[in-house]
């Protein structure tokens, strides 16, 4: 459960910024431009009353992670509320991750090739030359499609990415254990279970991509 611990600083909660809508070359060269992003995805922070509206809170933890001198967390959270929200709004998980991770990351990064442009939903850079391309898949049934999308993105961007090592990551929101052996068909891809990702962030204070991979694999 998330609660306000310092009502004098409640005004600090509101808008945050994320790297969004820039082209891949700028992202790789660290020429960032930022977009405003509302901190609480479910509008559960009541600033005028300095409180969290508990039945609106989806346990994303952003308010606590980004301003832990204002918000407290007692280690109890509702995994289902978070997952339900992600199922309705897949793009939220990308924005959430880019705010959670401490490495440079950006969402909706555009890449052009073969006379077409594609948007990379989430890219995370781990210096000096490692890039993670991340795709979210709502159910285990869509794994193949998500994998093909990542491969297409890499092929389209091969000129820009030629001097980088690339890790392909798929986060599955509703992971079905029956698909565990099926994942072996994609040996060069890392699969993360969204429930484990949330747990790693909230309970293990895991905010680096490599730790998240270690703790959250399917």
Identify which of residues 1 and 148 has a Cβ nearer to ligand SF4 in the complex: 1
**Taking the complex as a whole, how short is the minimal distance between the CB of residue 23 and ligand SF4, in angstroms?**
30
- Give the strand pairing for 71-73 and 2-4: antiparallel
**Taking the complex as a whole, how short is the minimal distance between the CB of residue 7 and ligand SF4, in angstroms?**
14
Q: What is the contact surface with ligand SF4 in residues (CB under 6 A)? A: 2, 39-42, 44-45, 52, 57-63
DSSP alpha helix (H) spans, the chain: 24-28, 62-66, 79-88, 90-100, 143-156, 194-204, 209-216
Q: In the structure encoding, which two tokens stand for residue 199, read together?
A: 């747990």
d(CA 159, CA 155): 9
Bridge partners, 133 (sequence order): 123, 168
**Taking the complex as a whole, how short is the minimal distance between the CB of residue 93 and ligand SF4, in angstroms?**
13
Identify which of residues 52 and 131 has a Cβ nearer to ligand SF4 in the complex: 52
Q: What is the three-class DSSP state of 81?
A: helix
**Taking the complex as a whole, how short is the minimal distance between the CB of residue 212 and ligand SF4, in angstroms?**
18
Identify which of residues 62 and 138 has a Cβ nearer to ligand SF4 in the complex: 62
CB 160 within 8 A of CB 183: no
Identify which of residues 55 and 184 has a Cβ nearer to ligand SF4 in the complex: 55
**Taking the complex as a whole, how short is the minimal distance between the CB of residue 87 and ligand SF4, in angstroms?**
15
DSSP state of 146: H
**Taking the complex as a whole, how short is the minimal distance between the CB of residue 196 and ligand SF4, in angstroms?**
18
Identify which of residues 41 and 106 has a Cβ nearer to ligand SF4 in the complex: 41
DSSP state of 23: B
Identify which of residues 156 and 197 has a Cβ nearer to ligand SF4 in the complex: 197
Q: What is the three-class DSSP state of 41?
A: coil
């991750």: which residue's tokens?
97
* Helices and strands counted in the chain (H then E): 7, 11
């Amino acid at each position: 459960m998330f609660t306000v611990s310092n009502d004098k600083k409640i005004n600090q909660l509101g808008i945050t910024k994320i790297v969004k809508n820039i082209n891949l070359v700028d992202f790789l060269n660290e020429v960032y431009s930022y977009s405003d992003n509302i901190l609480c995805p479910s509008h559960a922070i009541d600033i005028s009353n300095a409180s969290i509206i508990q039945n609106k809170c989806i346990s994303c933890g952003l308010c606590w992670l980004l301003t832990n001198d204002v918000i407290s967390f007692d280690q109890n959270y509702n995994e289902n509320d978070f997952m339900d929200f992600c199922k309705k709004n897949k793009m939220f998980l990308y924005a959430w991750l880019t705010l959670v991770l401490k490495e440079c990351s950006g969402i909706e990064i555009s890449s052009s090739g073969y006379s077409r442009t594609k948007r990379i939903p989430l890219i995370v850079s781990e210096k000096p030359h490692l890039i993670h391309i991340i795709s979210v898949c709502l159910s285990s049934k869509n794994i193949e499609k998500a994998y093909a999308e990542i491969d297409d993105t890499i092929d389209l961007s091969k000129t820009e990415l030629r001097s980088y090592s690339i890790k392909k990551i798929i986060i599955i929101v509703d992971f079905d254990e029956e698909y565990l052996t099926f994942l072996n068909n994609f040996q060069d891809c890392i699969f993360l279970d969204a429930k484990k990702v949330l747990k790693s962030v909230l309970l293990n204070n895991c905010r680096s991509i490599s730790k998240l991979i270690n703790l959250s694999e399917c």
